[in-house]
């Protein structure tokens, strides 16, 4: 149940680290998409431009989805984001869907320290 939306959420997060961000946004988000990232205005274009700039700063960024959970109309992803060889982040993205499009996004991140003390890891 709600597997298609989980696949869409995964395709979105994996696609926004490519040079096809605008195509990915057009394919998977609603035109009136909003988000809650505190570093950008809450509209679609502001976050899209922020992701484009992030990809310029970190051109070899990689995303690996570790967990996907669906509770309609929400999908939550836990992802490992490798920004560079020496900078990694654990990120939780929460997507709210309207039909098969992303309408709203929340994100929470934690930088992974290079000398991780927790023997359980962050994932």
CATH classification at residue 91: 3.10.450.50
Nearest alpha carbon to residue 25 among 49, 41, 42 = 49
Note the pLDDT of residue 33.
Answer: 98
Q: What dihedral angle (degrees, nearest 10) is formed by the CA atoms of 97, 101, 102, 104?
A: -60
Note the pLDDT of residue 112.
Answer: 97
pLDDT average, residue stretch 97-102? 97
Q: For residue range 15-51, what is the model confidence (pLDDT) as tens digits?
A: 999 999 999 999 999 999 999 999 999 999 999 999 9
Q: Residue 1 pLDDT more than 80?
A: no
The answer to whether position 67 is within a domain reads yes
- 2: pLDDT confidence band, cut at 50, 70 and 90? confident
Note the pLDDT of residue 63.
Answer: 97
Mean pLDDT, the chain, whole residue set: 96
The answer to whether position 86 is within a domain reads yes
The answer to whether position 119 is within a domain reads no
The answer to whether position 121 is within a domain reads no
The domain containing residue 63 runs over which residues? 3-112
Q: Which residues contact 45 (CB under 8 A, 6 or more apart)?
A: none
What string of DSSP letters covers the chain? --HHHHHHHHHHHHHTTSTTHHHHHHHHEEEEEEE--TTS-SBHHHHHHHHHHHHHHSTT-EEEEEEEEEETTEEEEEEEEEEETTEEEEEEEEEEEETTEEEEEEEEEEEEPTT---TT---
Domain count, the chain: 1
The answer to whether position 117 is within a domain reads no
pLDDT average, residue stretch 48-66? 96
Asked if 84 and 76 touch (Cβ cutoff 8 Å), the reply is: no
The answer to whether position 48 is within a domain reads yes
The answer to whether position 123 is within a domain reads no
The answer to whether position 120 is within a domain reads no
Q: For residue range 63-93, what is the model confidence (pLDDT) as tens digits?
A: 999 999 999 999 999 999 999 999 999 999 9
């Amino acid at each position: 149940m709600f597997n298609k939306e989980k696949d869409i959420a995964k395709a979105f997060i994996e696609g926004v680290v490519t040079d096809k961000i605008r195509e990915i946004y057009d394919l998977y988000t609603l035109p009136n998409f909003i988000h809650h990232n505190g570093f950008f205005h809450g509209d679609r274009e502001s976050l899209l431009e922020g992701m484009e700039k992030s990809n310029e700063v970190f051109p070899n960024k990689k995303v690996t989805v570790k967990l996907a959970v669906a509770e309609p109309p929400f999908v939550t992803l836990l992802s490992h984001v490798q920004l560079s060889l020496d900078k990694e982040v654990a990120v939780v993205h929460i997507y709210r869907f309207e039909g098969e499009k992303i309408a709203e996004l929340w994100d929470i991140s934690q930088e992974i320290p290079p000398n991780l003390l927790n023997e359980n890891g962050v994932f």
